[in-house]
Amino acid sequence: MGTYLLKRLLYLFPMSFIVVFFSGVMIHFIPGDPVDQIAGDFSSEQERRAIRKNMGLDQPVPLQVLYYFKGVIQGDLGHSLIDHRAVSELILERILPTVELALTSIVLACLVSIPLGAWAAVFKGSKIDSILMLSSLIGLSMPSFLLGPLLILFFSVQMGWLPVSGRSGLSSIILPSIVLSSSLSASLLRMTKVSFLEQLGADYIRTARSKGLGEILIFTRHVFKNAALSITTMIGLQFGALVTGTIITEKVFDWPGLGTLIAESIERRDYPVVQGCVFTFSLFFLLTNLITDLCYFGLDPRIRLARFD
């Protein structure tokens, strides 16, 4: 297992560098110039050239990206072109709120979707199943930029129960976590139902019933354990997507996370901060995939043997 883990860890940085390289090149093609933000509207052309040269923005784009890679290898993510603060410092300030929001959303989605998905599988074809499937379809179809303002309008403006925006306490995370978990809950509910139906129709379940095992014992000992593999895959992939896809939700609720930071940095053409955020997001996604693969070993011994033989 140690060899497999070491190989997977060695893959993290090359993959992250590839992502950062392409994002670093592409951001330079976005219309706009960070010098406009730094110099102001009344600066002379000479002052603008001096700023561009001082910050290395006069160099060719591939060369700028290579210099950035050199700094990353040395543990330096650079400094913000606008705030002149270390990018690593800015990321450390914003990473905890993003992880906090993603974890809350994934836990909420699991608590809601897995029991309801199992319920839909048991009562397949019933009205309960139809209602749950319709609800999941609505959840998949509702975009976060629409669901967020609707929840704010009702629960914050009309009812006054929850804060409109910001990160000021436990109550402030409720609405953004509901928005972020809505599409995941819908997908996870459907995946749970399909996985449970697949296991309920297997031969070993009929054998267990013929031996006189109760339905609760069959569900907990056999069905759920075997269905957990596909459910774990969904959760692992979606957690990485939640961390990297919080931009819209954080902007709607003014949540001070990495999503808000990268959106602000793109608007200001703050290249080092954007590249630092993309690098962090890519590491999150790759680490989540690695942890998901490691979870397989505890769920299915056949996978463990196949990986290490």
Q: What CATH code is carried by the domain that includes residue 235?
A: 1.10.3720.10
Residue 109 lies in a domain: yes
Global pTM exceeds 0.75? yes
- Indicate the number of domains in the chain: 1
Instruction: Name the token pair of 116.
Output: 């309801």
* Nearest alpha carbon to residue 274 among 62, 91, 33: 91
Residue 81 lies in a domain: no
Q: What is the pLDDT of residue 198?
A: 82
Residue 68 lies in a domain: no
Given a contact cutoff of 8 angstroms between Cβ atoms, the answer to whether 289 and 237 are in contact is: yes
Residue 64 lies in a domain: no
Residue 271 lies in a domain: yes
Residue 105 lies in a domain: yes
In a structure prediction context, what are the per-residue pLDDT tens digits for the chain, which is 309 residues long? Answer: 567 677 777 777 777 778 777 777 777 777 777 777 677 666 777 777 787 777 777 777 777 777 777 777 777 888 888 888 888 899 998 989 988 888 898 899 889 888 898 888 888 888 888 888 888 888 878 887 788 888 888 888 888 888 887 788 788 888 898 888 888 888 888 888 888 888 877 777 777 778 777 777 777 777 777 777 778 878 877 777 777 667 888 888 888 888 888 888 888 888 888 888 888 888 888 888 788 777 777 666 666 544 544
Given a contact cutoff of 8 angstroms between Cβ atoms, the answer to whether 175 and 253 are in contact is: yes
Which range of residues forms the domain containing residue 185? 93-308
